[in-house]
Structure 1
Amino acid sequence: MDAKAQNWDDLRYFLAVAKTGSLSGAARRLGVNHSTVFRRIGAFETELGVRLFERLPSGYLLTQAGEEMREGALRVEDEIASLSRKVTGQDLRLSGMIRVTTLDMLAFGLLPRHLANFRTVYPGIEVELIVGNVTLNLNRREADIALRVGNAPPETLVGRRVGQLVFAIYGSENYLAGKGGTGLEQHDWIGFDTEHAALTRRFSAFLPSAQPLLRTNSIAAAIAATKAGLGLAPLPCGLADLETDLVRVAALPEDFTLDLWLLTHEDLRQTARIRAFLDFMAKELAKEASVLEGRSSSDATRTGWKDDLC
């Protein structure tokens, strides 16, 4: 491997395949088609004179040379991302692109109306919304801003706790009509997989005998399944209460909550367009406290802070 390996665009394609393990996954990540990734990886290996991946039925597996290449490529990626953050951090224009990542349940049920309001106030700022349960790396500029749930955000990021998601048990009217006074243990349940381990652990402690007939990594999918009458599910009140055909069946223990965080990398905190988005969304989401917590607005309290972004 010689100096020709230092073409960053080639390394970018290589890392996308290394991280996703497939051409299709890399294509989605890079925003190109499958054949482009196939062609670029083949040309890169030919130029280097070494095979970086084993082509297996299950996907692309790094060879020993590929493993060594990945370590160096990640260091290059970190350096480029650091430089990009520092340069972007000096940008005082209220225009340009910001990349926002969040979970599907927030993207579908909470953000759209606030994004519409943001667009009205800041027409020069374009938002790219990246939806998924996989946590993108803000250090490597995979996204600029993250709206995340969880009670322990990474120390490398700064931001605000802008709310709290309170959960309760919900079922559809049609499902409940056929169950009468059945106890919770006798109901069919919709649960979550290992991507929502905190919720799974808390629910198991609450109702150990419940065995979900359906598990999903998507809370939005759990809401849809509950509406379809598959069973009961622990769902966030701020989303489930908006569904007119869902009924809140029972409360959950007080610890069955998740904090809602609006986060960015410290190097980007003073970038004008990013600061504008953070400040705007923090105010908008704070108004949602009573909805997110499943209570009346008269009981609303102020949310806390991780960092004051000053």
Structure 2
Amino acid sequence: MSLDWDEFRFVKSVADHGGLTAAAAQLGINHSTAFRRLAAVEAKLDARLFERLRTGYVPTPAGQAMIAAAARIETDVTQFARAMAGRGETPSGELRVTAPAGFAADLLMPVLADFSARYPEIRIDLLLTEEALNLSRRDADVAIRVSREPSETLVGRRLAATAWGLYGRADREYGDLSREAWVCPGPGVANGSFMRFVAARAPADRIRLQLNTVTGLDAAVSAGLGIGPLPCFVADANPALRRLSGPYPELGADLWVLTHPDLRHAARVRVFMEHFAEAMLPLRARFEGR
């Protein structure tokens, strides 16, 4: 009996997705093909790998053993890929960079344009997300993150503090702020720190808009939906807005550029991190709300 890596990967995908339909979509095959592949693996092993329940596919002991082996193989393959990627001497090839979506237009694009002109052999794959992608799995090579405590498994540089203030429209006068309409990120953002900030300053019925991300907050305040907390590096540069108070230390964090230790000496990673850090130096006062 011989098994190849694709069979391990397939069984792990079924387990991860709880069934054939989602696993098939993730692997780019149809449901019928997935059904036949699972049946073939089970026939080869002469063992049932999943119990087919109404709630989904639940691994049997044999399935759990195969999934654990698949996870170990996946880790080994990823570690090998990182080690090989870290040996590159020439700044070339694909570079996967993850950053918050709100950084894209005003901050990242001018930096990436300059970087691309300087290193035309590097192809950038930019992943804009509020989620912290797993650099150990090589979901990305470099992470630009705003965090108070970045993962201990990563290495990099702290570039600046990121300050937040309270902002409203520049063309309006404000009196008692507790009577104004407010906008803010919801309780799932930054462990609810923004909701606590607003709750200390206005009753709940004054919150006109709540977002599950910080992206779009400045547009909401500019549109007149209400006043709200905004990052100073975004809001101070917007002539439609004016700072009403702040910065507030309890809302702040730090800007970092990070990578996995196995990749820090890779030429394309090293030059990007150096380039980004250099580009941020003149912007430090803007980030810190000064």
Name the TM tier (shorter chain).
Answer: 0.7 to 0.9
Going from structure 1 to structure 2, the CA distance change for 1:9 and 1:235 (only over 3 Å counts) comes to farther
Determine if contact 1:110/1:239 at 8 Å carries over to the other structure: no
Name the CA distance, whole Å, in 2 between partners of 1:13 and 1:101. 29
Alignment of 1:59-138 (within 5 A): 61-65=56-60, 69-138=66-135
Letter in 1 for 2:240: D
Question: Residue type matched to 2:150 in 1?
Answer: P
Equivalent residue for 1:230, pick from 225, 230, 240: 225
Q: 1:288 pairs with 247, 258, 283, which one?
A: 283
**Superposed displacement of residue 74, structure 1:** 2.5
1:192 aligns with 2:182: no
Instruction: Output one character per residue of 1:61-85: Cα deviation in whole Å (capped at 9) or x when no partner.
Output: 5522466554433222211111111
| 1-structure distance, mates of 2:23, 2:109 | 26
Unaligned runs of 5+ in 1: 296-310
Give the Cα–Cα distance (whole angstroms) in 1 for the partners of residues 94 and 111 of structure 2: 17
**Cα offset, 1:253, TM superposition:** 2.5
3-state SS of the aligned residue for 1:249? strand
Question: What's the TM-score once normalised by structure 2's chain length?
Answer: 0.83
User: Match for 2:5: what amino acid?
Assistant: N
CA contact (8 A) 2:13 2:23 kept: no
Instruction: State the SS of the aligned residue for 1:107.
Output: helix
CA contact (8 A) 1:146 1:264 kept: yes
Distance 2:23 2:83 in 1: 29
Query: Segments of 4+ in structure 1 off by > 6 A?
Result: 19-26, 53-56
Contact 1:102 1:147 in 2 (8 A): yes
The aligned residue for residue 140 of structure 2 is: 143
| Alpha-carbon distance, 1:99 to partner | 0.5
| Larger Rg, first or second structure (1 or 2) | 2
| Residues 189 and 214 in structure 1, CA contact (< 8 A), matched pair in contact too | yes
Q: Relative to structure 1, is the Cα distance of residues 133 and 67 closer, same or farther in structure 2, using a 3 angstrom cutoff?
A: farther
Find the partner of 2:273 among 278, 287, 300: 278
Is this contact kept in 2: 1:168–1:235, CA < 8 A? yes
Contact 2:170 2:239 in 1 (8 A): no
* Distance of aligned partners of 1:153 and 1:172 in 2 relative to their CA distance in 1, 3 Å threshold: same
**Aligned pair in 2 of structure 1 residues 230, 271: CA closer, same or farther (>3 Å)?**
same
Shift of 1:272: 0.6
Equivalent in the alignment of 2:201: 207
Q: Which amino acid aligns with 2:142?
A: I
Corresponding position of 1:163:
160
Alignment deviations for residues 160-199 of structure 1 (CA, whole Å, 9 cap, x no partner): 001121101122346xx3xx54322112221223132263
Q: Which residue of 2 is the match for residue 303 of structure 1?
A: none
Per the normalisation by structure 1, the TM-score is 0.78
Residue in structure 2 matched with residue 304 of structure 1 by the alignment: none
Quote the residue 2:264 is aligned against. 269
- What is the alpha-carbon distance in structure 1 between the residues aligned to residue 103 and residue 193 of structure 2? 16
Question: Identity rate of aligned residues, in percent?
Answer: 30
The alpha-carbon distance between structure 1 residues 43 and 25, as it changes in their structure 2 partners (threshold 3 A), is closer
* One-letter code aligned to 1:200: F
| Equivalent position SS for 1:119 | helix
Change (3 A) 1:73 1:218: same
Q: Which deviates the most, 146-155 or 8-17?
A: 8-17
Conserved in 2, the CA contact under 8 Å of 1:137 and 1:143?
Answer: yes
| 2:45 alignment counterpart | none
How many aligned positions are there? 281
Are the equivalent residues in 2 in contact too, given 1:17–1:26 (CA < 8 A)? no
Q: Report what 2:235 is aligned to.
A: 240
* Cα distance between partner residues in 2 of 1:25 and 1:105: 31
1:36 pairs with 2:29: yes
Q: Deviations over 1:237-277 (max 9, x none)?
A: 11122222222222143332110110000000100111010
